[in-house]
Amino acid sequence: MNQLVHPAGPAAHGAYDQAVAGLLALLPRRLRRMLRWLLSRRARWVRIPTALLCLVFSMLWFLPVVGLEYLPIALVLIARDVPPLQQPVGRLLLWGGRRLRWLLDRWAARFARRRRRRAPPAAMRASVSPLPADIPTLRPVLAAARTLDDFRAAALAEGFDEAIARSWAPHQVVEDHQHPFDAEALVVQGEMWLSAAGGTRHLRPGDGFALARGTPHAERYGPEGATYWVARRGA
């Protein structure tokens, strides 16, 4: 199981997990996938060299190609293998993340050209707004899963009752509804739009979401349908 932190429990969802989740949400898609892999157990032997490389990049902040935006990645990677550092690093990044909004601007500028090439039509962009802040994202320990078996093992370790794969037909629409269980899901194929609490988010492979029981929401699926792995508690 590719856990991001040491064993599950109340301490496993502290500042470090929150910082990792926030960093993953902040990064461009390709870099997000790379960071998820680097935080997995199979990447242990390349994690520290990569962290040191990111530290070097951050010290070369005066160059146009690299900069201080690599520092949070370096800290997260180093703390992954040093449990006593995880909570201090998490608290530091959470504190800085609320104040240093330049980080988002730097990554946005660095990858703006790629995003423009892949951007959806203007009409679609106008219909999509960010997922509301009170709808949490998928916890990192589940987002790091590479297979359904890994996802299921992580979900059970986190206290969920079950974890299954759900597939949806092309262009399928599920109107407003609620579930009598908590759910956290990771999209692995296709695309979907999730609407909740007045906002809509476009989800592609590698994106995740979490919904508490009783949360009203609606779903719309893309031209190829979608498949996601979902962990449920209280079903």
**In 10 A of CB 108, how many CB atoms?**
12
Three-state DSSP class for 51? helix
Q: Taking Cα atoms as reference points, which of 69, 89, 65, 74 lies closest to residue 28?
A: 69
Please report, in tens digits, the pLDDT of each residue of the chain (235 residues total). Answer: 333 333 333 343 478 887 788 777 767 777 788 888 888 888 888 898 988 888 888 787 666 656 667 888 888 899 888 888 888 888 887 776 655 455 555 555 555 544 444 544 443 443 444 444 455 677 888 888 888 888 998 899 889 999 999 999 988 999 999 999 999 999 999 999 998 877 888 888 988 889 999 999 999 999 899 999 999 998 6
The crossing angle, in degrees rounded to 10, of helices 71-80 and 44-59 is: 150
C-alpha dihedral sign at 184, 153, 221, 25: positive
- The dihedrals phi and psi of 74, each to the nearest 5 degrees, come to -60, -45
Q: State residue 127's pLDDT score.
A: 40
Start and end residues for every CATH 2.60.120.10 domain found in the chain: 125-233
DSSP string, 60-119: TTTSSS--GGGHHHHHHHHHHT-HHHHHHHHHHHHHHHTT-THHHHHHHHHTHHHHHHHP
Q: State residue 230's pLDDT score.
A: 94
CATH of 125-233, one of 3.40.190.10, 2.40.50.140, 2.60.40.10, 2.60.120.10: 2.60.120.10
Three-state DSSP class for 186? strand
Q: State residue 94's pLDDT score.
A: 75
